[in-house]
Structure 1
Amino acid sequence: MASKENRRITDVGTLKALAHPLRMKLYRLLFVAEAATASHLAEQVDEAVSLVSYHLRKLAEHGLVEEAEPRSADGRERWWQPSSDGVSIRDEDFQDAPEKVAAHLAASRMFLEQRAEMYRRYLDERAHWGPEWSEAAHDSELLLRLTAAELAQLKKDLHDLLKRYDEQGRAHEAAGDTEGREHVALHVYGFPFRV
């Protein structure tokens, strides 16, 4: 990857490029795989290689993915990788014009739907993961009383904790400790509400 930092998306064009449902799936799969070809990704999303290649090029136009070093001897294969260690999209960057507000809202809803679909799929497959994973997996809802500053601190603390676990897991995997290691999605939402 070119950068180990999260890329902050601040323009509507890049947001719209990522907020396409197939492109977001490809980005997520590419992030998990670290590098892949359009052929590999096409198999996972059940789409034509030409369509996947088109969408990868669109993501590349906005600097979200880039070509990677080939991982096979086949020189015809074009490998792709994320161009950063993730992306961040902040509400504050899309509040100064109605079209930005609308684009941010549409993207946020699409991301939520894809995350919900990931969780629904897990629920449907939960019995096949076995008791160890069923015990480890969780969902919870906490209804807290916080100020905006306290919620911001909680967000930072959670981010720091999750980053530590991610770095630890990647280090173990790089050292060859892959036994029992799976991809894990953790979706956390913190938002105000009134009753």
Structure 2
Amino acid sequence: MAGRENRRITDVGTLKAFAHPLRAELYRLLCVQDVATASQLAEHVDEAVSLVSYHLRRLAGHGLIEEAEPQTADGRERWWRPASDGVSIQDADFRDDPGKSAAHLAATRLFHDQRADRYRRYLDERATWSAEWNAANLDVESWMRLTPAELTALKEELRALLQRYDERSRAAEAAGETEGREHVALIQYGFPFRV
């Protein structure tokens, strides 16, 4: 998947299709696994294959995922992959209409809740991870006084840094260096607040 740009979601129809709880989770799983069948994904989300297939077709209908090359000789299996390296959803694309703004807010809340659930799951399972992984865990909260331009610059620097690590890890995996690698989620929030 390396080399394909993020897909910027700018229309409310695609946003609503993507912001369904199961579809958002299926999309994340596909991003992690690169390619998968509805059956494989259904096992992860504990849902019926027919339901997962329906939601995958909805994601595909909005260009968020696409059919992938078959990974086995079984012609009955339909393989899927993300259509881009990720998605980008920006507030500015949904501010011009109260309905669009409400849809964006609802989607943002859903994504936040799913991320928080994923971190809570890690905390609940922390005892099953090695001391090395627990020491590597990143849990940081920083307080700064910035301008919008400074926060934007910080965001861009963090994106560039994450991109370098992603490219490095993909190259290492392509070279067969998989020992000790696990999936890692890094979630960032940077927002203004008043006291």
TM class by smaller structure? over 0.9
Q: TM-score, normalised by structure 2?
A: 0.99
Gaps of 5+ in 1: none
The match for 1:129 is 129
Residues 2, 83 of structure 1: 8 Å contact kept: no
Q: Shift in Å at residue 10 of structure 1?
A: 0.1
CA distance in 1, matches of 2:12, 2:95: 11
Q: Shift in Å at residue 81 of structure 1?
A: 0.4
The match for 2:180 is 180
The match for 2:64 is 64
Deviations 1:55-88 (A, max 9, x none): 0000000000000000001010000000011000
SS of 1:66's partner is strand
Residues 2, 167 of structure 2: 8 Å contact kept: no
The match for 2:50 is 50
CA distance in 2, matches of 1:90, 1:3: 21
The match for 1:4 is 4
The match for 1:112 is 112
Q: Shift in Å at residue 140 of structure 1?
A: 1.1
CA-atom RMSD, angstroms? 1.0
CA distance in 2, matches of 1:169, 1:122: 22
Q: Shift in Å at residue 127 of structure 1?
A: 1.0
Task: Give 1:156's aligned amino acid.
Answer: E
CA distance in 1, matches of 2:70, 2:169: 25
Gaps of 5+ in 2: none
Greater than 2 Å deviation, 4+ residue runs = none
How many corresponding residue pairs?
A: 195
Please tell me whether residue 160 in structure 1 is matched to residue 160 in structure 2: yes
SS of 1:182's partner is coil
CA distance in 1, matches of 2:138, 2:157: 20
Q: Shift in Å at residue 36 of structure 1?
A: 0.2
Q: TM-score, normalised by structure 1?
A: 0.99
Q: Shift in Å at residue 130 of structure 1?
A: 1.0
Q: Shift in Å at residue 3 of structure 1?
A: 6.7
Residue correspondence of structure 1 range 83-94 to structure 2 within 5 A? 83-94=83-94
Deviations 1:115-145 (A, max 9, x none): 0000000000111111000000020110101
